[in-house]
Amino acid sequence: SQTIHQWPATLVQPVGSPLSLECTVEGTSNPNLYWYRQAAGRGLQLLFYSVGIGQISSEVPQNLSASRPQDRQFILSSKKLLLSDSGFYLCAWSKGLAGYNEQFFGPGTRLTVL
């Protein structure tokens, strides 16, 4: 069966510090990968998605970036965190390029920027 992992689970970082969040998927190959952010009291905001190694699409211009160095690894990074980067970050995967494919979500990372 497929599983998706995210780490760390929680993170407290000072403003201006770098960020690296990691997501890995097991039990499937060539998944579509996604990074979402949930701010308090808001819905899901799609940040990045990827259909293959090295292929990253950005939905929202910001100080975050994403990379996919391996087929089942997706990394979210920042060189300098802002207060507004605080939130709950979710990684997800899906198969295929059709609208009927469901997404499978990881457990999330709670990021607090102080």
Among 12-20, 61-69, 70-78, 88-96, which window interacts with other proteins (CB under 8 A)? 88-96
Give the separation between CA 97 and CA 85, rounded to whole angstroms: 29
Site string for other proteins, 18-37 (x = CB under 8 A): --------------x-x---
| Strand, helix or coil for residue 95 | coil
Q: Is 1 in the site for other proteins (CB under 8 A)?
A: no
Strand partners, 75: 22, 67
Q: Is 11 in the site for other proteins (CB under 8 A)?
A: no
Strand partners, 10: 110
Give the separation between CA 53 and CA 2, rounded to whole angstroms: 19
Q: Which is nearer to other proteins, 67 or 94 (CB)?
A: 94
CA gyration radius for the chain?
13
Site string for other proteins, 47-66 (x = CB under 8 A): --x-----------------
| Among 1, 14, 69, 98, contact with other proteins (rule: CB under 8 A) | 98
Are 37 and 86 spatial neighbours (Cβ–Cβ below 8 Å)?
Answer: no
Binding site for other proteins (CB under 8 A): 4, 32, 34, 42-44, 46, 49, 88, 90, 92, 94, 96-108, 110
